[in-house]
């Protein structure tokens, strides 16, 4: 395992910002409809259950990483060998690239639908990739800085969730448990696309000073994300009727339209423009992870790996043209993410646990 210089490491409490900023992205703008399809007005329970599930997975990830003292590339190699381990590592790299593509293309769609129908996605994507290259070239500390500012600067958006409460109907929250456990569990599964991203910890773990001490910050990051999604879900449930919840694609943005201020008439424009700061760390951390993984696997410079990855992400995001295509890519990504996070990581946890016990016996 390569030794990382002290000057490249970040303090444990920054893990809070890295985890939280990676989980909050374009999913926040319209996740309510997706989970309401399965769990209806009980979908807020699904949000809580998804948060609990993520806490368990984060705990497992720290158990795996604390034991190996390396990243997921090292763990794959140690557990599965060079070739099979290399295949799993490559799969994870492709997954991170697909995550960046989905975030970028979905944000472009939001701008085209809500603000500028003739908005040129190719040009916007090109400049976003240049900005991403500039940030990642600055090293992991620069990426961490973007994560920090993505939470601090647009923080005022969180306060705006209270404006739609003037039109809220609290009675929509009752009766509780009006749906079956199967439907609520399906709603929990449907939250995957919104809450995924925290698994990048598997790659940036070696860049944390005293990484064992960062676990509480990772859990606090997940807790903050769950709280934010819960508030957004409960507000939407009280604001919209059941029929509206089923039809409105961007529930959070629609609620922004209810905000009236003397100095701005269409507040959703401010929200969408500000949201670029929120999605930027999604792209930067994912592509930093993908380029870092390629560096570890193929022994090439991270910048060269980045120059290979960025054009691929840009081309892929441009070729996804219709709403149906975006939905299809999102669904595939969500399914893969679900199986990787909630099936593969627990299996990996059990295997590493068995290996450790056997080594202790020897």
Cα angle for residues 39, 40, 44 (degrees, 5° grid): 70
| Cβ pair 349, 63 in contact under 8 A | yes
- d(C-alpha 12, C-alpha 212), whole Å: 8
To the nearest 10°, report the CA torsion of 135, 139, 143, 149: -80
- d(C-alpha 289, C-alpha 283), whole Å: 10
- The residue behind tokens 């990484």 is 211
Closest by CA to 198, choosing from 65, 16, 30, is 16
Tell the CATH superfamily of the 6-322 domain: Amino acid/polyamine transporter I (1.20.1740.10)
Q: What is the pLDDT of residue 360?
A: 79
DSSP notation for 217-236: HHHHHHHHHHHHHHHHHHHH
Q: What are the CA-CA distances from residue 244 to residues 40, 216, 240 (Å)?
A: 11, 39, 6
- d(C-alpha 89, C-alpha 290), whole Å: 10
Closest by CA to 289, choosing from 53, 97, 158, is 97
Beta-bridge partner residues of 261: 264
- How many residues does the structure list for the chain? 362
- d(C-alpha 95, C-alpha 72), whole Å: 14
Q: What is the pLDDT of residue 7?
A: 79
Instruction: Work out the widest C-alpha separation in the chain, in whole angstroms.
Output: 73
Domain boundaries defined on the chain: 6-322
Give pLDDT tens digits along the chain (362 positions). Answer: 567 788 789 999 999 999 999 998 888 888 888 888 888 888 899 999 999 999 999 999 999 998 887 889 999 998 898 899 999 999 999 999 999 999 999 999 999 988 888 888 899 999 999 999 999 999 999 999 999 988 876 666 666 667 777 777 877 777 787 888 898 999 999 998 888 999 999 999 999 998 989 999 999 999 999 998 998 888 888 888 877 887 888 888 888 777 777 767 777 787 788 889 999 999 999 999 999 999 999 989 999 999 999 999 999 998 888 888 888 998 999 999 999 999 999 999 999 999 888 877 77
């Amino acid at each position: 395992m390569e030794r990382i210089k002290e000057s490249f490491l970040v303090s444990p409490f920054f893990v809070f910002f890295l985890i939280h900023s990676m989980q909050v992205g374009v999913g926040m703008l319209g996740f309510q409809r997706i989970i309401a399809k399965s769990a209806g007005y009980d979908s807020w329970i699904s949000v809580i259950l998804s948060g609990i599930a993520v806490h368990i997975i984060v705990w497992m990830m720290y158990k795996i990483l604390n034991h190996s003292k390396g990243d997921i590339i090292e763990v794959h190699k140690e557990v599965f060998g060079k070739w099979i381990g290399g295949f799993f590592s490559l799969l994870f790299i492709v997954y991170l690239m697909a995550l960046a593509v989905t975030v970028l293309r979905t944000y472009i769609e939001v701008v085209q639908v809500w603000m500028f129908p003739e908005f040129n996605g190719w040009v916007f994507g090109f400049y976003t990739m240049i900005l991403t290259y500039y940030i990642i070239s600055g090293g992991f500390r620069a990426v961490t800085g973007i994560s920090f500012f993505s939470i601090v600067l647009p923080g005022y958006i969180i306060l705006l969730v209270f404006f739609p409460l003037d039109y809220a109907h609290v009675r929509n929250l009752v009766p509780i448990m009006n749906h079956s456990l199967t439907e609520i569990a399906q709603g929990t599964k449907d939250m995957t696309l919104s809450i995924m991203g925290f698994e990048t910890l598997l790659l940036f773990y070696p860049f944390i000073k005293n990484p064992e001490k960062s676990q509480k910050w990772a859990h606090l990051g997940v807790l903050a994300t769950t709280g934010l999604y819960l508030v957004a879900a409960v507000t939407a449930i009280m604001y919209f009727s059941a029929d509206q919840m089923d039809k409105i694609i961007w529930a959070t943005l629609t609620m922004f339209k209810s905000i009236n201020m003397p100095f701005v008439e269409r507040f959703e424009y401010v929200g969408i423009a500000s949201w670029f700061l929120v999605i930027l760390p999604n792209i930067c951390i994912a592509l930093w992870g993908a380029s870092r993984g390629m560096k570890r696997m193929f022994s090439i410079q991270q910048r060269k790996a980045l120059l290979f990855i960025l054009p691929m992400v840009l081309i892929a995001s441009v070729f996804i043209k219709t709403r149906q295509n975006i939905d299809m890519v999102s669904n595939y990504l969500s399914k893969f993410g679900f199986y990787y996070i909630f099936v593969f990581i627990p299996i990996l946890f059990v295997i590493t646990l068995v290996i450790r016990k056997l080594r202790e016996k020897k």
